[in-house]
A and B are shown apart, each in its own frame.
Chain A
Amino acid sequence: MKIQILGTGCPKCIKLTENAEKAARELGVDFEIEKITDINKIMDLGVMMTPGIAIDGEVKSVGKVLSPEEIKKIISK
């Protein structure tokens, strides 16, 4: 599973990364984290508010720091 964190590196983006790693580890899934920090690439995805998170290329949330529990739910869908 590929988890992409969309954000230019602010504390919220870092927190979302930590929460995503925690959620994936606790679910026991194979995963890799990719941090997309280039604002032009982020906007090419249509994302206008950061941080955002995408799972396997599909944007699941923008403009929010999801909790590990919330991320577990979107990973499990």
Chain B
Amino acid sequence: MTDDKNNCCETNAQDTCCSGEGVKTLILACSGGSNVGQISNQIMIELDRSGIGNAYCLAGIGAAMSGFIESAKAARTILIDGCPVACGRKVFEKYGIEPSDYFIVTELGIKKTHDFSKLKEETDKALNALKTKI
């Protein structure tokens, strides 16, 4: 085993580099400018913390950065939009990416507002609803 190989197995690339054909789960959120947009972002973080997947950059795909687009195409993806305007879904469609799982926060029992004072309790409610669907 070479030094390079040792390095490989100690990195984040481990899952899909040295240990077989595993596919990463990437989690993306619209992170938009409303309560439900910010809740989508918080859900992404909580799912990452739970070990369900890795938080990932929807903006990188929107910016047409090839590494982000190809990674999203190769991975299992969980996409979370805040509302039915579905900006995240439209970014995916623009680059021919189909999410493995797709959620809209307003369909998880949260009304879209610009009130950011209840994000914690609204996030908890949406997250509980989402976990029954994953």
State the A residues within 8 Å of B (CB): 7-13, 37, 39, 42-43, 45-52, 54, 58-64
State the B residues within 8 Å of A (CB): 2-5, 7-9, 11-13, 15-18, 23-24, 26, 54, 56-57, 60, 65-71, 74-75
Q: Could you write out 13 A-B pairs with CB less than 8 Å apart?
A: A8-B7, A9-B2, A9-B7, A9-B8, A10-B17, A13-B17, A46-B57, A47-B67, A48-B54, A49-B17, A49-B75, A50-B8, A62-B71
Chain A residue with minimal CB distance to B2? A9
Residues of A within 8 A of B69 (CB): 46, 59
Shortest beta-carbon distance, A8 to chain B, in Å?
4
Chain B residue with minimal CB distance to A11? B5
How far apart are the CA atoms of A7 and B21 in the complex, in Å?
A: 15
Total A-B Cβ pairs within 8 A: 93
Residues of A within 8 A of B12 (CB): 39, 43, 48
Partner of A8 from the list B13, B65, B70, B75 (CB cut-off 8 Å) is B13
16 extra A-B contacts, CB within 8 A, seeds A60-B66, A60-B70:
A8-B13, A10-B5, A10-B8, A37-B4, A37-B7, A46-B65, A46-B68, A46-B69, A47-B67, A48-B26, A48-B75, A49-B71, A54-B66, A59-B70, A62-B70, A63-B71
Residues of B within 8 A of A12 (CB): 17-18
- Given A7-B17, A13-B17, A37-B7, A49 and B23 touching (CB < 8 A)? yes
Partner of A48 from the list B4, B24, B65 (CB cut-off 8 Å) is B24
Residues of B within 8 A of A45 (CB): 65, 67
Q: Check B9–A10 contact: CB distance below 8 A.
A: yes
